Amino acid sequence: QLSAPLYGDDVAALQAKLQDLGFYAGRVDGFFGPQTHESLSSFQREIGIAADGICGPQTLRSLELLGTRVTGGSPHAISEEELVRRKGPQLGGKRIVIDPGLGGPSTGTIVNGISEADILWDLAMRLEGRMAATGMETFLSRPHNADPTEAERALTSNAFDADLMISLRCDSNSSPSANGVASFHFGNSHGSVSMIGQVLTGFVQREIVARTPLRDCRTHGRTWELLRLTNMPTVQIDLGYLSNASDVAVLTNPRMRDTIAEAILISVKRLYLLGQDDQPTGTFTFAELLAEELSVADRIS
Protein backbone atom coordinates (compact mmCIF):
# COMPACT_ATOMS: atom_id res chain seq x y z
CA GLN A 1 0.00 0.00 0.00
CA LEU A 2 1.15 3.56 -0.64
CA SER A 3 1.00 4.33 3.07
CA ALA A 4 3.74 1.72 3.57
CA PRO A 5 5.85 1.56 0.38
CA LEU A 6 7.45 -1.81 -0.32
CA TYR A 7 10.70 -2.79 -2.03
CA GLY A 8 11.65 -6.29 -3.11
CA ASP A 9 11.71 -9.08 -5.64
CA ASP A 10 8.01 -9.80 -5.10
CA VAL A 11 7.17 -6.24 -6.17
CA ALA A 12 9.43 -6.62 -9.22
CA ALA A 13 7.63 -9.87 -10.12
CA LEU A 14 4.28 -8.06 -9.85
CA GLN A 15 5.52 -5.20 -12.04
CA ALA A 16 6.85 -7.64 -14.65
CA LYS A 17 3.51 -9.48 -14.76
CA LEU A 18 1.54 -6.23 -15.08
CA GLN A 19 3.97 -5.14 -17.80
CA ASP A 20 3.45 -8.41 -19.70
CA LEU A 21 -0.31 -7.82 -19.55
CA GLY A 22 0.00 -4.24 -20.82
CA PHE A 23 -0.94 -2.41 -17.62
CA TYR A 24 2.49 -1.18 -16.51
CA ALA A 25 4.96 0.72 -18.69
CA GLY A 26 7.45 1.86 -16.05
CA ARG A 27 10.72 0.42 -14.86
CA VAL A 28 10.71 -2.97 -13.18
CA ASP A 29 12.51 -1.51 -10.17
CA GLY A 30 10.99 -3.50 -7.30
CA PHE A 31 9.45 -0.35 -5.73
CA PHE A 32 5.71 -0.28 -5.05
CA GLY A 33 5.10 3.41 -5.74
CA PRO A 34 2.19 5.42 -7.20
CA GLN A 35 2.70 4.13 -10.76
CA THR A 36 2.63 0.49 -9.66
CA HIS A 37 -0.41 1.17 -7.46
CA GLU A 38 -2.32 2.78 -10.34
CA SER A 39 -1.35 0.00 -12.75
CA LEU A 40 -2.54 -2.66 -10.31
CA SER A 41 -5.80 -0.75 -9.74
CA SER A 42 -6.34 -0.51 -13.51
CA PHE A 43 -5.84 -4.25 -13.85
CA GLN A 44 -8.34 -4.88 -11.06
CA ARG A 45 -10.94 -2.59 -12.67
CA GLU A 46 -10.41 -4.30 -16.03
CA ILE A 47 -11.16 -7.79 -14.68
CA GLY A 48 -14.03 -6.69 -12.44
CA ILE A 49 -12.65 -7.02 -8.91
CA ALA A 50 -12.31 -4.38 -6.20
CA ALA A 51 -9.84 -1.77 -7.46
CA ASP A 52 -8.09 -1.19 -4.13
CA GLY A 53 -4.51 -1.37 -5.42
CA ILE A 54 -3.75 -4.19 -3.00
CA CYS A 55 -2.30 -7.40 -4.40
CA GLY A 56 -4.36 -9.89 -2.39
CA PRO A 57 -5.21 -13.56 -3.08
CA GLN A 58 -7.96 -12.84 -5.63
CA THR A 59 -5.72 -10.48 -7.59
CA LEU A 60 -2.84 -12.97 -7.53
CA ARG A 61 -5.08 -15.74 -8.87
CA SER A 62 -6.30 -13.47 -11.68
CA LEU A 63 -2.74 -12.52 -12.60
CA GLU A 64 -1.74 -16.17 -12.82
CA LEU A 65 -4.74 -17.12 -14.97
CA LEU A 66 -4.14 -14.47 -17.63
CA GLY A 67 -1.53 -14.89 -20.35
CA THR A 68 0.89 -12.34 -21.79
CA ARG A 69 -0.54 -9.68 -24.11
CA VAL A 70 2.58 -7.62 -24.79
CA THR A 71 5.51 -9.12 -26.70
CA GLY A 72 8.57 -7.85 -28.54
CA GLY A 73 10.43 -5.88 -25.88
CA SER A 74 9.99 -3.75 -22.81
CA PRO A 75 7.14 -1.22 -23.02
CA HIS A 76 9.20 1.15 -20.88
CA ALA A 77 12.17 0.97 -23.28
CA ILE A 78 9.88 1.46 -26.28
CA SER A 79 8.28 4.46 -24.58
CA GLU A 80 11.68 6.02 -23.80
CA GLU A 81 12.86 5.61 -27.39
CA GLU A 82 9.67 7.11 -28.77
CA LEU A 83 10.00 10.15 -26.52
CA VAL A 84 13.52 10.79 -27.84
CA ARG A 85 12.38 10.30 -31.44
CA ARG A 86 9.45 12.67 -31.00
CA LYS A 87 11.68 15.39 -29.49
CA GLY A 88 13.68 15.62 -32.73
CA PRO A 89 17.41 15.97 -33.35
CA GLN A 90 17.85 19.64 -32.40
CA LEU A 91 19.02 20.53 -28.89
CA GLY A 92 17.04 23.78 -28.64
CA GLY A 93 14.23 23.43 -26.12
CA LYS A 94 15.50 20.21 -24.53
CA ARG A 95 15.28 20.33 -20.72
CA ILE A 96 18.32 18.96 -18.87
CA VAL A 97 19.03 18.62 -15.15
CA ILE A 98 22.71 18.82 -14.20
CA ASP A 99 23.54 17.25 -10.84
CA PRO A 100 26.99 18.12 -9.42
CA GLY A 101 27.88 15.91 -6.47
CA LEU A 102 28.57 17.03 -2.88
CA GLY A 103 28.05 20.75 -2.09
CA GLY A 104 27.82 23.04 0.92
CA PRO A 105 29.80 21.66 3.87
CA SER A 106 30.52 18.43 1.95
CA THR A 107 33.67 19.38 0.09
CA GLY A 108 35.02 15.88 -0.53
CA THR A 109 38.67 15.21 -1.30
CA ILE A 110 41.10 18.13 -1.59
CA VAL A 111 43.66 17.78 -4.42
CA ASN A 112 46.17 20.40 -5.61
CA GLY A 113 44.40 23.05 -3.56
CA ILE A 114 40.94 22.44 -5.06
CA SER A 115 38.12 20.45 -3.50
CA GLU A 116 36.17 17.65 -5.14
CA ALA A 117 32.98 19.71 -4.73
CA ASP A 118 34.55 22.68 -6.53
CA ILE A 119 35.75 20.47 -9.40
CA LEU A 120 32.24 19.10 -9.90
CA TRP A 121 30.56 22.50 -9.56
CA ASP A 122 32.98 24.08 -12.04
CA LEU A 123 32.38 21.28 -14.53
CA ALA A 124 28.61 21.67 -14.08
CA MET A 125 28.90 25.41 -14.83
CA ARG A 126 30.94 24.75 -17.97
CA LEU A 127 28.41 22.17 -19.15
CA GLU A 128 25.47 24.45 -18.31
CA GLY A 129 26.99 27.33 -20.28
CA ARG A 130 27.50 25.22 -23.38
CA MET A 131 24.03 23.73 -23.18
CA ALA A 132 22.44 27.16 -22.74
CA ALA A 133 24.34 28.44 -25.79
CA THR A 134 22.63 25.77 -27.93
CA GLY A 135 19.17 26.79 -26.70
CA MET A 136 18.72 24.03 -24.12
CA GLU A 137 16.94 24.71 -20.83
CA THR A 138 19.19 23.71 -17.94
CA PHE A 139 18.45 23.21 -14.26
CA LEU A 140 20.70 22.43 -11.31
CA SER A 141 19.66 19.75 -8.84
CA ARG A 142 21.03 21.76 -5.93
CA PRO A 143 22.28 25.24 -4.95
CA HIS A 144 26.01 25.79 -4.42
CA ASN A 145 25.74 25.77 -0.62
CA ALA A 146 23.77 22.52 -0.15
CA ASP A 147 24.34 18.77 -0.33
CA PRO A 148 20.90 17.12 -0.69
CA THR A 149 20.44 13.37 -0.38
CA GLU A 150 20.13 11.30 -3.54
CA ALA A 151 16.37 10.99 -2.97
CA GLU A 152 16.06 14.77 -2.53
CA ARG A 153 18.02 15.39 -5.72
CA ALA A 154 15.70 13.03 -7.58
CA LEU A 155 12.59 14.72 -6.17
CA THR A 156 13.86 18.17 -7.16
CA SER A 157 14.74 16.98 -10.65
CA ASN A 158 11.36 15.34 -11.20
CA ALA A 159 9.69 18.71 -10.55
CA PHE A 160 11.46 20.19 -13.60
CA ASP A 161 9.77 17.76 -16.03
CA ALA A 162 13.14 17.38 -17.73
CA ASP A 163 14.13 15.19 -20.68
CA LEU A 164 17.40 13.96 -19.15
CA MET A 165 19.41 14.16 -15.95
CA ILE A 166 23.21 14.12 -15.93
CA SER A 167 24.87 13.48 -12.59
CA LEU A 168 28.56 14.30 -12.09
CA ARG A 169 30.71 12.51 -9.51
CA CYS A 170 34.35 11.69 -8.73
CA ASP A 171 35.66 8.46 -7.24
CA SER A 172 38.50 7.39 -4.95
CA ASN A 173 40.09 4.13 -3.90
CA SER A 174 42.51 2.84 -1.28
CA SER A 175 44.76 1.80 -4.16
CA PRO A 176 46.41 4.71 -6.01
CA SER A 177 46.45 2.52 -9.13
CA ALA A 178 42.65 2.64 -9.56
CA ASN A 179 41.85 5.08 -12.35
CA GLY A 180 39.45 5.89 -15.16
CA VAL A 181 35.97 7.14 -16.04
CA ALA A 182 32.82 5.04 -15.69
CA SER A 183 29.18 5.80 -16.49
CA PHE A 184 26.05 4.37 -14.92
CA HIS A 185 22.39 4.04 -15.95
CA PHE A 186 19.41 2.34 -14.35
CA GLY A 187 19.50 -1.44 -14.73
CA ASN A 188 18.68 -4.34 -12.43
CA SER A 189 18.89 -8.11 -12.12
CA HIS A 190 15.32 -8.50 -13.36
CA GLY A 191 16.33 -7.36 -16.84
CA SER A 192 14.76 -3.93 -16.54
CA VAL A 193 16.96 -1.19 -17.97
CA SER A 194 16.69 2.44 -19.00
CA MET A 195 17.40 2.02 -22.69
CA ILE A 196 18.02 5.73 -23.27
CA GLY A 197 20.28 5.86 -20.22
CA GLN A 198 22.18 2.86 -21.54
CA VAL A 199 22.65 4.45 -24.95
CA LEU A 200 23.71 7.80 -23.49
CA THR A 201 26.29 6.25 -21.14
CA GLY A 202 27.79 4.47 -24.14
CA PHE A 203 28.18 7.76 -26.00
CA VAL A 204 29.57 9.51 -22.90
CA GLN A 205 32.21 6.85 -22.37
CA ARG A 206 33.38 6.86 -25.97
CA GLU A 207 33.51 10.65 -26.25
CA ILE A 208 35.35 11.27 -22.96
CA VAL A 209 37.86 8.47 -23.55
CA ALA A 210 38.52 9.68 -27.11
CA ARG A 211 39.16 13.26 -25.96
CA THR A 212 41.05 12.76 -22.66
CA PRO A 213 43.74 10.45 -21.20
CA LEU A 214 41.14 8.91 -18.86
CA ARG A 215 40.89 5.12 -18.94
CA ASP A 216 37.65 3.50 -20.10
CA CYS A 217 35.99 1.75 -17.12
CA ARG A 218 32.88 1.11 -19.25
CA THR A 219 29.16 1.49 -18.56
CA HIS A 220 27.14 -0.28 -15.89
CA GLY A 221 23.53 -0.75 -14.83
CA ARG A 222 22.76 0.08 -11.20
CA THR A 223 19.70 0.51 -8.97
CA TRP A 224 21.05 3.46 -6.99
CA GLU A 225 18.39 5.82 -5.64
CA LEU A 226 19.24 8.64 -8.01
CA LEU A 227 18.91 6.37 -11.06
CA ARG A 228 15.82 4.60 -9.76
CA LEU A 229 13.75 7.49 -8.40
CA THR A 230 14.09 9.95 -11.28
CA ASN A 231 11.25 9.98 -13.81
CA MET A 232 13.52 10.92 -16.71
CA PRO A 233 16.43 8.85 -18.08
CA THR A 234 19.35 9.57 -15.74
CA VAL A 235 23.05 8.88 -16.11
CA GLN A 236 25.79 9.21 -13.49
CA ILE A 237 29.32 9.86 -14.72
CA ASP A 238 32.18 9.01 -12.34
CA LEU A 239 34.82 11.21 -13.93
CA GLY A 240 37.96 9.76 -12.42
CA TYR A 241 39.74 8.81 -9.20
CA LEU A 242 40.99 11.62 -6.99
CA SER A 243 43.26 9.01 -5.39
CA ASN A 244 45.14 8.60 -8.69
CA ALA A 245 47.76 11.13 -9.79
CA SER A 246 47.00 10.85 -13.52
CA ASP A 247 43.25 11.36 -13.05
CA VAL A 248 43.89 14.27 -10.68
CA ALA A 249 46.04 15.94 -13.35
CA VAL A 250 43.11 15.73 -15.76
CA LEU A 251 40.36 16.86 -13.38
CA THR A 252 42.28 19.81 -11.92
CA ASN A 253 43.12 21.16 -15.41
CA PRO A 254 40.51 23.77 -16.48
CA ARG A 255 41.11 23.01 -20.17
CA MET A 256 40.43 19.33 -19.59
CA ARG A 257 37.22 20.20 -17.74
CA ASP A 258 36.23 22.19 -20.83
CA THR A 259 36.96 19.11 -22.93
CA ILE A 260 34.88 16.86 -20.65
CA ALA A 261 31.95 19.30 -20.73
CA GLU A 262 32.16 19.36 -24.53
CA ALA A 263 32.27 15.55 -24.66
CA ILE A 264 29.11 15.26 -22.54
CA LEU A 265 27.24 17.80 -24.68
CA ILE A 266 28.26 16.02 -27.90
CA SER A 267 27.06 12.75 -26.35
CA VAL A 268 23.61 14.25 -25.73
CA LYS A 269 23.52 15.46 -29.33
CA ARG A 270 24.42 11.97 -30.59
CA LEU A 271 21.57 10.55 -28.51
CA TYR A 272 19.01 12.76 -30.23
CA LEU A 273 20.49 12.18 -33.68
CA LEU A 274 19.46 8.52 -33.32
CA GLY A 275 22.40 7.44 -35.47
CA GLN A 276 21.60 9.79 -38.39
CA ASP A 277 24.10 12.26 -39.90
CA ASP A 278 26.57 11.39 -37.16
CA GLN A 279 30.33 12.03 -37.07
CA PRO A 280 33.17 9.80 -35.86
CA THR A 281 33.72 9.67 -32.11
CA GLY A 282 35.88 12.48 -30.75
CA THR A 283 35.71 14.64 -33.89
CA PHE A 284 32.51 16.68 -33.46
CA THR A 285 33.48 20.02 -31.84
CA PHE A 286 31.41 22.42 -29.77
CA ALA A 287 31.95 25.17 -32.36
CA GLU A 288 30.58 22.92 -35.12
CA LEU A 289 27.66 21.86 -32.96
CA LEU A 290 26.80 25.43 -32.01
CA ALA A 291 26.98 26.61 -35.63
CA GLU A 292 24.69 23.79 -36.71
CA GLU A 293 22.15 24.46 -33.95
CA LEU A 294 22.07 28.20 -34.65
CA SER A 295 21.74 27.60 -38.40
CA VAL A 296 18.71 25.37 -37.91
CA ALA A 297 17.19 27.86 -35.44
CA ASP A 298 17.60 30.68 -38.00
CA ARG A 299 15.93 28.62 -40.72
CA ILE A 300 12.99 27.79 -38.44
CA SER A 301 12.55 31.43 -37.38
Query: How confident is the model over 49-106, as pLDDT tens digits?
Result: 989 888 888 898 888 887 655 455 556 566 666 777 777 888 999 999 999 999 999 9
Pair 151, 221: CB distance under 8 Å:
no
Identify the helix (H) or strand (E) that includes residue 69: none
CATH number of 9-72, picked from 1.25.40.10, 1.10.101.10, 1.10.760.10, 3.30.465.10: 1.10.101.10
| pTM, to two decimals | 0.80
CA 246 to centroid of chain Cα atoms: 27
Region of residue 89 (phi > 0: left; psi between -120 and 50: alpha; otherwise: beta): alpha
| 276 contacts: CB under 8 Å, gap ≥ 6 | 89
The mean pLDDT of the chain is 89
Task: Kindly report, residue by residue over 196-253, the tens digit of the pLDDT.
Answer: 999 999 999 999 999 999 999 999 999 899 998 898 999 999 999 999 999 999 999 9
First to last CA, the chain: 50
Q: Which fold has domain 78-300?
A: Aminopeptidase (3.40.630)
Domain locations along the chain: 9-72, 78-300
The burial class, CB within 10 Å (0-12 / 13-18 / 19+), for 71 is: exposed
How high is the pLDDT of residue 40? Answer: 92
Closest CA to 196 of 185, 204, 188, 207: 185
Q: Is the pLDDT of residue 113 over 90?
A: yes
